[in-house]
Amino acid sequence: MKHMYFGPGIDIGKKSEFWHGSLWTEFPLFGQEDIIISQVKYRTGSFIYYQSSIQKLGFLRSIQRDEENKIILKIQQLVFYEELPGIFKGISRQQRENSGEVWMLDENFITINPSSVLRKATVKLPYLNQSLTPGELNVKEIIYKYKNHWRIRDINMSYLHPAHYISTNNSPTSSLPVYKLFLDMYYDNFGTYRNVYHSLGGVYIQFGNMPANLRKLVKNHFVISFVPFGGSFDEFILPFVKELKEFEKGKVMSVQGQEAWVVAGLGVVTADLPQGNDLAGVLRHGVNKGCRTCSINKDLYTDRNQDLALLSRYKQITDLESVQINNEFTMSRKKQMSSEYGLRIKQ
């Protein structure tokens, strides 16, 4: 335990550990999820007004510490119509601003001190199915740069912030120490015999709370079990997932003879290319759209002129595509749409 890290994410120039990255800092299961400023609680994944040279509107992405161990807040900026690049200004967007629309800037996240926070803001995001009343602030488009040129895309083409789909429970008492475990699961198929290949699946976990020099040691790889010949990984992993879901809510456990509040979550899944695509619900890499992070045609993989922001796989969009596939009545049509989207047909 003494070599494991439990705490907020750290904003550092040379990143070498999980807690240096956005995955740790933004996930409520691993990093710091809230902060009290002037007796008001602010949570990651919420909107705030903050003081810069003028009052600004922002999205609180994470609560971190800098290299001097001072608390800082990472903010994604939102802009009003008058702050838009000239190329995007026009009558349509000007009228939409009158209805409360603002724009999210997917460029240059900034850090501020907690003392710069002024108050909470209410901003609605359509993909969260939030009801919108006239005049309420809302975001429908994201502004970003591609090859030094400003572009704009629909808000649905954005990765969900973890705070929008993960809820956590507080410790039953503030006196309990809190340990948040970052699990890194590895899955791989291998042959058990020299001359005859029978695929056996090995499932292992590591703790991302350990520094990299300790994670690489064999003694710190823990075997969960093996998927038997011809077995289904989905069926095999269900008990593990069920237990992990319970740990996400938190449990009071004895840690080195002292009661503590323990939370655990799956932070990273590592797998070889075929198994990784299977786990992500994407067709194998030989098909036209066999990349599990984007929908680029395989003939264009080496084309450097691809705008990944427009071609990435976003969960909310992929979920809709999967529903469309499975709502088809004939298998031939399901296969056609499966090939079109590069997604597996759910059994």
Give the residue with greater pLDDT, 225 vs 62.
62
**pLDDT band at residue 192, thresholds of 50, 70 and 90?**
low
With beta carbons less than 8 A apart as the criterion, state whether 134 and 34 touch.
Answer: no
Average pLDDT over residues 61-66: 97
Q: Cα–chain-centroid distance for residue 80? A: 26
- The Cα–Cα gap between 186 and 268 comes to 8
Give the residue with greater pLDDT, 167 vs 111.
111
- 76-85, 189-198, 259-268: least confident range: 189-198
Q: What are phi and psi of 138, to 5 degrees?
A: -150, 155
pLDDT in tens, 116-138: 999 999 999 988 888 888 889 99
299: its two tokens: 């003939």
3-state secondary structure of 340: helix
With beta carbons less than 8 A apart as the criterion, state whether 137 and 121 touch.
Answer: yes
Structural domains in the chain, sorted by start: 34-164 (2.30.30.490), 168-271 (no CATH), 275-347 (no CATH)
**pLDDT band at residue 337, thresholds of 50, 70 and 90?**
very high
pLDDT of 193 > 70? The answer is: no
Q: What percent of the chain has pLDDT over 70?
A: 97
Q: What are phi and psi of 163, to 5 degrees?
A: -65, -15
Radius of gyration of the chain (CA): 23
**pLDDT band at residue 174, thresholds of 50, 70 and 90?**
confident
- 89-103, 117-131, 196-210, 297-311: least confident range: 196-210
Annotate 90-102 with b (16+ C-beta within 10 A) or e (fewer): eeebeebeeebbb
User: What pLDDT does residue 265 have?
Assistant: 95
- The Cα–Cα gap between 223 and 240 comes to 12
Strand pairing of 123-124 and 137-146? parallel
pLDDT in tens, 265-302: 999 998 888 888 988 999 998 899 999 999 999 999 99
User: What pLDDT does residue 191 have?
Assistant: 64
- The Cα–Cα gap between 200 and 191 comes to 6
Q: What are the CA-CA distances from residue 227 to residues 187, 204, 235 (Å)? A: 10, 11, 9
Q: How far apart are the first and last CA of the chain?
A: 42
With beta carbons less than 8 A apart as the criterion, state whether 24 and 30 touch.
Answer: yes
Average pLDDT over residues 154-168: 92
Amino acid letter for position 228: P
